[in-house]
Amino acid sequence: MITLDNLSIAHGQKTIMQGISTTLASGQVHVIIGPNGTGKSTLLRTLFADLPLQSGRICWQDKILAPGHHRSRQLQQWRHDIAYMPQDTGLDVSLSVLEIVVLGGLETLTLHIDSSLLEQAMDCLQAAGIAELAHRDIGSLSGGQRQMVLFAQVLMRNARMMLLDEPVSALDLHHQIAMLDLVREQTRARNLVTVIVLHDLNLACQYADNLLIFSHGRLQASGAPLAVITPQLISHTYGVALDIVYDNGGLPLIQPLSRHHPLTIKNTLRKEA
Amino acid sequence: MTVPVTEHQDAIVRFRLRERRRWQWLFIFFLLTLVTFVLDVATGPSLLSPGEVVRSILNYGDRDSMTDSIVRGLRLPIALMALAVGASLGAGGAQMQTLLNNPMASPYTLGMAAAAGFGAAAMLAVGGLGLHDMIAVPLGAFVFSMVAAAFLFFLASMRRTNIESIILGGIALLFLFQSLISLIQFIASPELSQQILFWLFGSLTKTTWPTLGITTLVTIACCILLWLDSWKLAALRMGEMRAASLGVNVRRLRIKVLVIVAVMTATATSFVGVIGFIGLVAPHLARVSVGEDQRFYLPMSMLSGALMLSAASVLSKSIIPGALFPVGIVTAIVGVPFLLWLIFAPRRRAR
């Protein structure tokens, strides 16, 4: 379990987030949503100890991250069990997919790569459904394929906390579902704390055990999707007219209403009448 | 995720095959380097036969006693220096490129060579501070390239420095020291200016056994240190953030590699002068042939560098028989078309 205690985060002089207090339980998938520029990626980087805290503190396992903790040894310790997948997939390096995934086991790598490590890397590639790409050059892959490879590297890490910044942004529907299913399975099986930033609200509702809604640098609401998703909150957060329907499984589905959507027109007519 | 051991047998066999192919590349380059080395010893004012050179080096079989004194006394240290300096520049360039994630980085483009040049020129200009030229000039060069490196460390150690600012800082240094060199040449007497110019061209001819020994030892020690960090360096090539998330202490690695590269290139440059281009091209050649698995990339960069400088040395002696061109001029003239070919030649995917 991670405890965030009255966190404020600044980027240079500008305060980006403030007053954030919440707990993130192990074995659960925590999904961060919110409009562009509200600090979703900033929060992930803070959890990874890449940005200094302005005030407040984060507790995880027996470790504490607080303002002033930026000596590199402290940071190394904090990061030790964290697998972080940054947002950009830009990779300009002449390595094969298998080599990239093997690097996930960096801490146990020796100059001779042990066959058991290669086995493990192939397992991760297979779990991600891209075993056939193993010998391709990473530079020759599409953005989506690269995202899957980087995810396989995350699996290889054997971490206790998994931070994924928009991991499905370049993926087609099939791979989005495949990756997020795998994220959930791994989170449950290995009792990880998993924090994901997603833009797709419906995917977020489907995969979140705990949904964290951010806007204007503040945590607006958190909890199970069914409990926190209301038309008012989402509509206010994103500044969009929308409707919420519930699918057969009882999960909320968010339907944005464009200005020309029949429902918008009906609502306007009703208001005018 | 436990699976039977045999499931990925094919993939692993293929991976091992690829490793073997890289060993083969290294071996081929090793042989080529040996050949150019022998040719390097053989060419000169009196042309020797390669067979005789080999016999003399190995101290085995019949040969002229003249041959022995030419080979051992005159040409062997120079030819070996070409290998040592080439390897050091190749490895230095390779790790600068890894560190800064930029194929344009090299000790030369980041101003360390220009700083060395300035140090040497300044020493020549002030008359060596009472030291003998043979000591004063390398010392000046070494001190100033370490000054340039110290500036780069300072940039690298600031917490919020990104790669671009380090590169720009290096380019600024390059311009600064080049203007300072021009300034000294402008002020200095024509004879002195000539002397400075000759040093700036880069030349292996002043090699002695002690300078060769120092350069070789430093190069080998530095490369072993770098080689042991192969995986961290490979991770660094994936971007600093990703390297950090794989458990690399990026700041420490950055400083460590900078120090190693600085010591290595400062040593090489201080004895032979400014030799450009090898630090830029050798890593490229290595990347195209063996990829960026650093376990192979680093030795391949060393071998490519050694091969190129050795070949340039042969050329510098044989363009006009009897005349000796400074090797620094030859590397660039031959290097440019080669670099262009490497960049524009169609890339092969299989490695």
B240 to chain A: closest CA residue: A86
pLDDT at position B350 is 39
Can you say whether the dihedral through the CA atoms of B250, B221, B228, B8 is positive or negative?
A: positive
Highest mean pLDDT among A86-95, A142-151, B119-128: A142-151
Residue B244: how many other CB atoms lie within 10 Å: 24
Distance between CA atoms of A74 and B132, rounded to whole angstroms?
50
- B99 interaction partners in chain A (CB closer than 8 Å): none
pLDDT, tens only, B241-265: 889 889 898 888 988 998 898 889 8
A112 to chain B: closest CA residue: B295
Confidence of residue B328 (pLDDT cuts 50, 70, 90): confident
In a domain, A107, yes or no: no
A224 phi-psi bin (left φ>0, alpha ψ -120 to 50, beta other)? beta
pLDDT at position B347 is 57
DSSP H helical ranges for chain A: 40-47, 72-79, 97-102, 115-127, 143-157, 173-190, 201-207, 225-228, 231-238, 262-272
The angle subtended at Cα A180 by Cα A130 and Cα A30, nearest 5°, is: 145
- A99 interaction partners in chain B (CB closer than 8 Å): 234, 291, 293
* Mean of the per-residue pLDDT values of chain B: 86
Decide if pLDDT at A77 tops 90.
Answer: no
Q: What is the mean pLDDT of residues A186-207?
A: 93
In a domain, A21, yes or no: yes
Q: Considering the domain B19-344 in this protein, what is its CATH number?
A: 1.10.3470.10
- B238 interaction partners in chain A (CB closer than 8 Å): 91, 93, 100, 103
Decide if pLDDT at B1 tops 60.
Answer: no
- Which of B303, B321, B345 has its CA nearest to residue B33? B303
Decide if pLDDT at B351 tops 50.
Answer: no
Q: What is the mean pLDDT of residues A135-144?
A: 89
pLDDT, tens only, B134-161: 778 888 888 898 899 888 878 877 766 7
Q: Is B231's CB within 8 Å of A123's CB?
A: no
Q: What is the mean pLDDT of residues B277-294?
A: 90
Where is pLDDT greater, at B124 or A178? A178
pLDDT, tens only, A230-248: 888 888 888 888 888 888 8
Q: Is B245's CB within 8 Å of A140's CB?
A: no
Tell me, what DSSP letter sits at residue B49?
-
Q: What is the mean pLDDT of residues B286-302?
A: 92
What domain range includes position A69?
2-81+159-272
In a domain, A128, yes or no: no
In a domain, A241, yes or no: yes
B2 to chain A: closest CA residue: A123
Distance (Å) of CA A37 to CA A34, A240, A252: 8, 16, 25
**From B1, B251, B287, residue closest to A72, measured CB to CB:** B251
B177: helix, strand or coil: helix
Among B98, B231, B296, B351, pick the best mutation site for testing chain A contact (most A Cβ within 10 A). B231
- B237 interaction partners in chain A (CB closer than 8 Å): 93, 95
In a domain, A74, yes or no: yes
Where is pLDDT greater, at A108 or B23? B23
Domain edges within chain B: 19-344
Q: Is A115's CB within 8 Å of B249's CB?
A: no
In a domain, A114, yes or no: no
CATH of the domain at A256: 3.40.50.300
pLDDT at position B80 is 94
Q: What is the mean pLDDT of residues B220-243?
A: 92
Compute the count of residue pairs across chains A and B with CB atoms less than 8 Å apart: 109
Q: Is B249's CB within 8 Å of A157's CB?
A: no
Contact (Cβ atoms closer than 8 angstroms) between residue B346 and residue B327: no
Among B223, B246, B288, pick the best mutation site for testing chain A contact (most A Cβ within 10 A). B246
The angle subtended at Cα B309 by Cα B195 and Cα B55, nearest 5°, is: 110
Confidence of residue B6 (pLDDT cuts 50, 70, 90): low
In a domain, A216, yes or no: yes
pLDDT, tens only, B186-221: 888 888 888 888 788 888 888 888 889 999 999 999
In a domain, A134, yes or no: no
Interface of A with B in 172-211 (CB under 8 A): none
- B349 interaction partners in chain A (CB closer than 8 Å): 137, 140
The whole-angstrom distance between A226's CA and the closest CA on chain B is: 33
pLDDT at position B188 is 85
Q: Is B12's CB within 8 Å of A122's CB?
A: yes
Q: Is A95's CB within 8 Å of B287's CB?
A: no
A116 to chain B: closest CA residue: B5
Q: What is the mean pLDDT of residues A32-45?
A: 90
Distance between CA atoms of A86 and A165, rounded to whole angstroms?
5
Q: What share of chain B is helix, strand, coil (3-state, %, to 5)?
A: 75, 0, 25
The whole-angstrom distance between B81's CA and the closest CA on chain A is: 29
- Which of B338, B278, B235, B327 has its CA nearest to residue B109? B278
- Which of A82, A64, A41 has its CA nearest to residue A214? A41
State whether residue A94 sits within 8 Å of chain B by CB.
Answer: yes
Instruction: Provide the number of structural domains found in chain A.
Output: 1
**From A76, A107, A111, residue closest to B230, measured CB to CB:** A111
The angle subtended at Cα B6 by Cα B2 and Cα B9, nearest 5°, is: 115
pLDDT at position B301 is 96
Tell me, what DSSP letter sits at residue A261?
-
Segment (H or E) for B133: helix B133-157
Q: What is the pTM of this model?
A: 0.87
- Which of B310, B269, B227 has its CA nearest to residue B34? B310
Query: What would the DSSP string read from start to end of B200-264?
Result: HH--STT--HHHHHHHHHHHHHHHHHHHHTHHHHHHHTT-HHHHHHTT--HHHHHHHHHHHHHHH
ipTM, two decimals: 0.86
**From B245, B251, B292, residue closest to A93, measured CB to CB:** B292
pLDDT at position B326 is 82
